[in-house]
Amino acid sequence: MSSGTETGSDVLQGPTSDSCGTVPVEHLDYDYIEKCKDVKYMERILGVLRSGKEGIYPHLITFCESHLEKLNPRSRSLRKVNPVATASSFSTDEWSQIIDELKTWEEETKKTETLMKQESMLGDTVKIKIPPVRGSNRCVQLRESSASKERQNSSKHTLPRDYREWDKYDVDKECDRIDGNVLKNDPPAVLNTGHPKIKTEVDSSLLSQQEKLLLANREKDKGNEAFRAQDYEEAVAYYSRSLSVSPTVSAYNNRAQAEINLKHWHNAMRDCQQVLELQPGNKKALLRRATVYNHMGNFQMASEDLRMVLREEPHNTAATQLLSEIEKKMSECQPEQERKAKKVLIQEVEEEDSNSFKEKRAQRTACPVQPSQPVGGEESSAAPAERGDMGNTQKKPHTRGDGGPHSESSNSHQHGHWKSKVGSSDKYKVPQESKEKVANGSNQRASAASVPADQNSKSTGGGRTEETVNLDAPCGALPPHLSRLKNEGNLLFKNGQFADALEKYSQAIQGYTDSGIDSPEDLCILYSNRAACYLKDGNSQDCIQDCTRALELQPFSLKPLLRRAMAYESLERYRKAYVDYKTVLQIDISVQAAHDSVNRITRLLIEQDGPEWRENLPEIPLVPLSAQQHRREEPPSAEALQARKEKAARDAERRAEILFSALKQEGNDFVKKGQYQEALGKYTECLKLKPKECAVYTNRALCYLKLEMFTEAKEDSDAALNLEPTNKKAFYRRALANKGLKDYLACSSDLQEVLQLDPNVQEAEKELEEVTVLLRQSLANDSQAKPRRTVPITEVDDDKDLTAVPNPETTCTGEDITINLKPTSAYDFGQSLNAARCSGNTAACAELLASTSPELLPEYLSTQLDSATISFVMQALDSHLLEKNPNLVYQHLSHLHTTDRFPVVLMLLEKDERRHMTQLFEHLSAVESAEFTTNDVQNLANKYI
């Protein structure tokens, strides 16, 4: 035993000197299997256990399989063949469903086929000139035959009526005239140099609806074929034919793309508009219209279309790239003066100009807000931190609980009998001057910011409609002055002025108390809105107080509960925050922020209180069923479920792609550092995510080669070649693996494949030279290890035997064997050929070849072909058979080179052996034969020399 580095695990590496492959019984033990680290020996143990030779031990087999899986998850011994699914593999209902679907498909196919046989698809359109097949230069014309024209022409001349007229009839002249007419009326065939113009419309007036649909699909398929062939003009023509029969969204979309490739921007724009009229929000049409806008220079409209696409598909790569390009162009095109701050000229206004000043101020008040202004509502361009998103930076709940002040529509979150007396109000946008006046807190100046109802909608230059705010809009049962205070507070909150909004809400609450009205719903909203302001300013204690008051007025109101939970969490009062979040989820389970917070607080409480953390929680109140039913959403439709499923699949694919890229990059970094064992683990994890990634298999094969695990390297190279049959790296690394396994013949074959794919790979050339030397040495060692025997040769004919005396110089023993000149199998042929070769009797070899069919020669030599055999066969053909039957020699040579191992063996021939082969072809080319020529012999020689 070596000292220093040997550990206990190194002892149990499996017996290496056991040549017979047996496993001792004492190794079939849990302790030994658990300590064993030799994968190959573990596979042998598993094989013995599965065979049942030492008994059946199901638990021990399972334990051995699990341990082997830890050592090598890709071991061949762990592979299990799944049986082919049959009727017994399915339940009765599943099998019945499969049978019913097959029968339904068969019936529909038969009905469609019957209908197509009964009714003609094209109807009377056969008379129309049929367009040519795409790519042909002939145009088929449906015209009358020359024979019918001849009959028409001949009918114009009256025939003789009696014998005297027949005597005067010049038959030769009439024949010449007829022949001339035929030649004259039959124009020569003209080959078109280009495609004939295809009609863009098809007459489908006589077709049924089903026939129209089939014809439209057929024309669209022709367009798709032309599009794939990059013949976009023809594709446009076929798409137009399809649209003339039945306008469809897909045909319009396809034609728009073809027009874009032809740079016909206006035509493409027209098709995109047609699609959006038929199907508003179609993502392909929006993306293609954005492409057209981009080329036409309308970057603003292009960016709007792309943002609509990204709202539906946030991970659309094409839309993301195009939007980044457009934003870059817009930033480059922006004038420099617009980027600089604007100068403000302040002038004093005299008393006499006060009237004109008021008129100008009213005009400015009526102007809509600019798109860049941060206004309230979901369409606001303000940053998320400036909007009311739950009062903190957590995730926004799914469609509920936006954290901003309650609007009139927020009453719909209450119980069924808590509905507001007023309907839902719109989202407002405010003019710049109105926003400034509200921020000043002056009621007198703010009253001048009111906009008449008929001026609420204005159209901006961008084509979008902006809305101005009406601060006097009614709010539930509140009096007008309190409604105005609440609207001003909402507006200030949306603009991020939380302190001013808090003051407005406080004034409204004080005014509510002084007025003596009875409307707990409206007071609850005011407290909740003020709590949102406290939460934004970081005053969590006052936020909790206001939320508690709101919940006393309206129990189980969603927004106060959620805001109080956030305030408790910010104060690290996690138990009370947990209770409020759980109450929120009882009311509305779709609030994602509550789910995230519950998970986060649960981990904190487990760390703080241990496994018994639930015992320290306050009691979670039970939400009434009426409140739960009001919060409960309608069951999602099939389309919504499918959309969620697709979104989840896209998200999972995106996460897997990110993880795969990171693991692959880590593996590549380990390879660069020479840490091949660590890289091996990373590549294995990559293949769990993407088992069909060819590059990962080749990279892992490289790691196996560096670790001298040649069998695993060969398996990975085989897997890579199954995925990509022409991968040079896979061939090269499999060649190195075969070299490590001392399979030099397979190694040479793989290296030749590499050089055939790329003759410039110098590493493959060097390896091929080295492997060729190793292969010759291996064959020489094998031939020296085989004992030679004395072979008296006996030629066996029908009734007589011919015994030849062996050559003493080439024999090893005195044993006699006979040569069968009519072998019936590869074994018999091999025995006879070896006997002749050992005695050096080329005449007997020639007789053997003369009695063997040339077609059978590759089959007989497939397992025993080597350079010495080829040289001996060539000498026999040249010395004896060429003079007797040169045609048979040519046929043998024509079939010999098709043997499986011939290219490799040909490479190993020595100089003298090649010289014998060259002499044979020189003698064969000098022979004159009716079955082959000198050129045929030369072409055949190229395969040998």
Top pLDDT among 352 and 536 is at: 536
Cα separations in angstroms, 369 against 85, 215, 344, 380, 583 = 67, 53, 18, 11, 40
Question: 3-class secondary structure for 719-743?
Answer: HHHHHCCCCHHHHHHHHHHHHHCCC
In this prediction, residue 818 carries a pLDDT of 64
Q: Which residues pair with 465 in a beta bridge?
A: 459
In this prediction, residue 807 carries a pLDDT of 39
Task: Find the mean pLDDT for residues 304-327.
Answer: 88
- CA–CA gap between residue 318 and residue 329 (Å, rounded): 17
Residue 409 pLDDT > 50, yes or no?
Answer: no
In this prediction, residue 257 carries a pLDDT of 94
Contacts of 828 (CB under 8 A, 6+ apart): 820
In this prediction, residue 259 carries a pLDDT of 93
CA neighbor of 400 nearest in space, from 506, 558, 598, 510: 558
In this prediction, residue 786 carries a pLDDT of 52
- CA–CA gap between residue 333 and residue 336 (Å, rounded): 9
Helix (H, G, I), strand (E, B) or coil at 514: helix
pLDDT confidence tier of residue 7, bands split at 50, 70 and 90: very low
Task: Find the mean pLDDT for residues 20-48.
Answer: 87
Task: Find the mean pLDDT for residues 364-377.
Answer: 36
- pLDDT tens profile 623-633: 887 777 555 55
Residue 917 pLDDT > 70, yes or no?
Answer: yes
- CA–CA gap between residue 715 and residue 699 (Å, rounded): 12
In this prediction, residue 902 carries a pLDDT of 83
Task: Find the mean pLDDT for residues 495-507.
Answer: 91
The owner of tokens 């294995």 is 684
Mean pLDDT score across all residues of the chain: 75
Cα separations in angstroms, 729 against 716, 724, 794, 909 = 11, 10, 53, 29
- pLDDT tens profile 420-451: 333 333 333 334 443 343 333 333 333 333 33
Task: Find the mean pLDDT for residues 926-936.
Answer: 86
The owner of tokens 């492997």 is 771
Share of the chain above pLDDT 70, in %: 72
Residue 89 pLDDT > 60, yes or no?
Answer: yes
- pLDDT tens profile 253-305: 999 999 999 999 989 999 999 999 888 889 899 999 999 998 888 888 898 89
Q: Count Cβ atoms below 10 Å from residue 72 Cβ, excluding itself.
A: 17
Helix H or strand E segment including 801: strand 801-804
In this prediction, residue 423 carries a pLDDT of 35
Three-point CA angle 564, 565, 567, nearest 5° = 65
Residue 513 pLDDT > 50, yes or no?
Answer: yes
CB 916 within 8 A of CB 868: no
Indicate the range of 170-179, 224-233, 248-257, 919-928 predicted with least confidence: 170-179
Residue 407 pLDDT > 50, yes or no?
Answer: no
Report how far Cα 115 is from the mean position of its chain's Cα atoms.
Answer: 39
Long-range contacts of 805-814 (CB under 8 A, 24+ apart): 806/838, 806/839, 807/839, 807/840, 807/841, 810/838, 810/839, 810/840, 811/838, 811/839, 812/787, 812/788, 813/787, 813/788, 813/789, 814/790
Residue 342 pLDDT > 50, yes or no?
Answer: no
In this prediction, residue 351 carries a pLDDT of 39
The token pair that represents 403 in the structure block: 């954290």
Phi and psi at residue 389, in whole multiples of 5°? -100, 80
In this prediction, residue 199 carries a pLDDT of 85
In this prediction, residue 463 carries a pLDDT of 40
- CA–CA gap between residue 11 and residue 32 (Å, rounded): 11
pLDDT confidence tier of residue 385, bands split at 50, 70 and 90: very low
- pLDDT tens profile 764-784: 888 888 888 888 787 777 655
Give the helix ranges, DSSP H, for 840-885. 842-850, 857-861, 867-876, 882-884
- CA–CA gap between residue 182 and residue 835 (Å, rounded): 79
Residue 227 pLDDT > 90, yes or no?
Answer: yes
Top pLDDT among 804 and 720 is at: 720
Task: Find the mean pLDDT for residues 67-74.
Answer: 90
CA neighbor of 431 nearest in space, from 366, 353, 476: 366
- CA–CA gap between residue 468 and residue 458 (Å, rounded): 8
pLDDT confidence tier of residue 831, bands split at 50, 70 and 90: confident
For the chain, the distance separating the N- and C-terminal CA atoms, rounded to the nearest angstrom, is: 56
In this prediction, residue 787 carries a pLDDT of 53
Indicate the range of 119-133, 148-162, 686-700, 909-923 predicted with least confidence: 119-133
The token pair that represents 448 in the structure block: 């001048």
The owner of tokens 């009998």 is 417
In this prediction, residue 345 carries a pLDDT of 42
Helices (H) and strands (E) in the chain, counts: 43, 4
Top pLDDT among 817 and 459 is at: 817
In this prediction, residue 360 carries a pLDDT of 42
In this prediction, residue 468 carries a pLDDT of 61
- pLDDT tens profile 730-757: 999 999 999 899 888 888 888 888 888 8
pLDDT confidence tier of residue 134, bands split at 50, 70 and 90: low
Residue 565 pLDDT > 90, yes or no?
Answer: yes
Q: What single string gives the DSSP state of each residue in 218-230?
A: HHHHHHHHHHHTT
pLDDT confidence tier of residue 350, bands split at 50, 70 and 90: very low
In this prediction, residue 601 carries a pLDDT of 92
Max mean pLDDT range (47-56, 202-211, 341-350, 370-379): 47-56
pLDDT confidence tier of residue 682, bands split at 50, 70 and 90: very high
In this prediction, residue 437 carries a pLDDT of 38
Task: Find the mean pLDDT for residues 164-174.
Answer: 77
Max mean pLDDT range (288-297, 777-786, 792-801, 906-915): 288-297
